Amino acid sequence: MRKIGIRQARIFMAVANAASVTGAAKVVNRSQTSVTKSIQDLEHQLGVPLFDRTPKGVSLTAFGDALMPRAELAARAFTAAEQLVSPAVLMSAPGAARFFRMDISETWLDGFLAVVSHQNIASAADHLGIKPAAVSSSLRKLEDSLHITLFERTPNAIICTTLGRSIAQYVKLAQSYMRNACDEISNMQGVQVGHVSVGTMPYTRTMIIPRAINQLLAEHSDLDITTHDGPLDDLVAALRCGDIDVMVGALHGPGSDGGLSEERLIDDQLAIIVRAQHPLTRLKKVEWKDLLQYPWVLPRHGTTTRMLFELVLENRQEEKPSHIVETSSLVLLRGLLVESDRVSARSRHQILYEEQSGLLATLPVDLPETRLPIGITTRARSVLAPAVEMFIEELRKVAQQVSKTL
């Protein structure tokens, strides 16, 4: 499998910026032989030339041009991580300065990130396919080099410090850019490979995301796709560090630091949902007092849908439903509604197939104040992998299809 190491990316950028091996060797403080070997090894790993060589120096090939912006983004991630560390540490620890200049062993980085993820030396070692002693040695050398405590050790666990976890997020982000570069180079060679990691939110899990995935894989069956769900804050954190490529769902703003970029696809709003044979479906006009005669099923407090529903109650000064069952599970919701006269408030997108199959129905109750933009969230100022760009294009197509049907 193709892989670009962080140190290799540093040396590559030095050669590209200096337009010569000699100049790069001075910048990275290595011999010309070492720099030449690093570039040759990288080109061999990728199977493509990154530089055109002439007696006057070197220049980037098309493949090198594809790698360069992603390598620069990786460098920017390490620079951001450096801002987390006190100047005193950077002055007193040469190893820390080298680390944030991307002059670091890939073995140390892999061990560090594996332990952050697994919170256990043995599990991290099993994941990496090496012995626990090797992982412990890498961590010790990394912490000694940085003069930073990355983990707190207890008799039963190894816990990442707040600083260690923050640094790990930037390292993972840098590595994600290198993976994207590998995908782009493969794409340039006519090989459609790649991986898309999608953060999913409730409004889009039922139909929008599945349809986009199916349409993408119908044309590009060699791509791999992984979906992630969970609380919004967890998904945003995963997006920021590169564990997720794109989030799809309700838009919540680009973040106070401007680190996220949003694209609106469609607007959605809540509907009142009941079983298809519910007594209220026989009414031409449904009043709020009619709804309050029945028990309700609502999402948990703090979710977007629940907040929008409570906004309706506040704006209209309506009485709150009593005897509520709280669940965010669509499977459980379907069972509760189909087997009773309960009422719920959800997006029609979430119950589209149940409505088409005659299990559930929407009541003629308009809730315009719950209108919500649905769309795509990515990292701002990022270079997306080809597979991610193709997936986003399929999402746009699905949004157009949905807007014509609902």
Kindly state whether residue 186 falls inside one of the protein's structural domains.
no
pLDDT at 191: 75
Number of domains in the chain: 3
d(CA 354, CA 206) in angstroms, rounded, equals 10
pLDDT, averaged across the chain: 91
Q: Are residues 29 and 86 in the same domain?
A: yes
pLDDT score of 248 more than 80: yes
Please give the single-letter amino acid code of residue 268: D
d(CA 345, CA 274) in angstroms, rounded, equals 9
pLDDT at 256: 58
Q: How confident is the model at residue 255 (pLDDT cuts 50, 70, 90)?
A: low
Of residues 32 and 257, more confidently modeled: 32
Q: Are residues 24 and 100 in the same domain?
A: yes
pLDDT score of 320 more than 90: no
Residues above pLDDT 90, as percent of the chain? 71
Kindly state whether residue 221 falls inside one of the protein's structural domains.
yes
Of residues 36 and 383, more confidently modeled: 36
Q: Are residues 49 and 197 in the same domain?
A: no
Q: Are residues 243 and 275 in the same domain?
A: no
CATH of the domain at 343: 3.40.190.10
Distances (CA, A) of 383 to 60, 65, 66, 180, 185: 18, 13, 10, 8, 13
Q: Are residues 298 and 232 in the same domain?
A: no
Of residues 319 and 41, more confidently modeled: 41
Kindly state whether residue 62 falls inside one of the protein's structural domains.
yes
Query: Which residue is listed with tokens 């995935």?
Result: 213
d(CA 40, CA 365) in angstroms, rounded, equals 67
- The token duo for 82 is 């450096």
Q: How confident is the model at residue 315 (pLDDT cuts 50, 70, 90)?
A: confident
Q: Are residues 400 and 303 in the same domain?
A: no
Of 117, 136, 170, the one marking the end of a domain is 170
pLDDT score of 180 more than 70: yes
Kindly state whether residue 187 falls inside one of the protein's structural domains.
no
d(CA 64, CA 22) in angstroms, rounded, equals 18
Q: Are residues 35 and 131 in the same domain?
A: yes
pLDDT at 405: 67
pTM exceeds 0.85 for this model = no
pLDDT at 212: 96
Kindly state whether residue 101 falls inside one of the protein's structural domains.
yes
Q: Are residues 328 and 310 in the same domain?
A: yes
* Orientation angle between helical segments 6-18 and 21-28, nearest 10 degrees: 130
pLDDT at 46: 93
Q: How confident is the model at residue 258 (pLDDT cuts 50, 70, 90)?
A: confident
Q: How confident is the model at residue 111 (pLDDT cuts 50, 70, 90)?
A: very high
Kindly state whether residue 185 falls inside one of the protein's structural domains.
no
Its domain, for residue 142, covers 6-170
pLDDT score of 352 more than 80: yes
- 3-state SS string for 63-83: HHHHHHHHHHHHHHHHHHHHC
- The token duo for 248 is 């799809």
Q: Are residues 296 and 218 in the same domain?
A: no
Query: Which residue is listed with tokens 């699905």?
Result: 398
From the CB of residue 369, how many other CB atoms can be counted at a distance below 10 Å?
13
- The token duo for 324 is 């509520």
Kindly state whether residue 182 falls inside one of the protein's structural domains.
no
Q: Are residues 211 and 124 in the same domain?
A: no
Region 236-255: what's the mean pLDDT? 89
User: First CA to last CA across the chain, in angstroms?
Assistant: 44
From the CB of residue 12, how many other CB atoms can be counted at a distance below 10 Å?
26
Q: Are residues 312 and 164 in the same domain?
A: no
CATH of the domain at 150: 1.10.10.10
pLDDT at 56: 87
Tell me the per-residue pLDDT of 25-52, one tens digit each, with 9 for 90 and over.
Answer: 999 999 999 999 999 999 999 999 999 9
pLDDT at 194: 85
pLDDT at 231: 86
Q: Are residues 136 and 102 in the same domain?
A: yes
Kindly state whether residue 176 falls inside one of the protein's structural domains.
no
Q: How confident is the model at residue 1 (pLDDT cuts 50, 70, 90)?
A: low
Q: Tell me if 11 sits within 8 A of 38, measured CB to CB.
A: yes
From the CB of residue 188, how many other CB atoms can be counted at a distance below 10 Å?
14
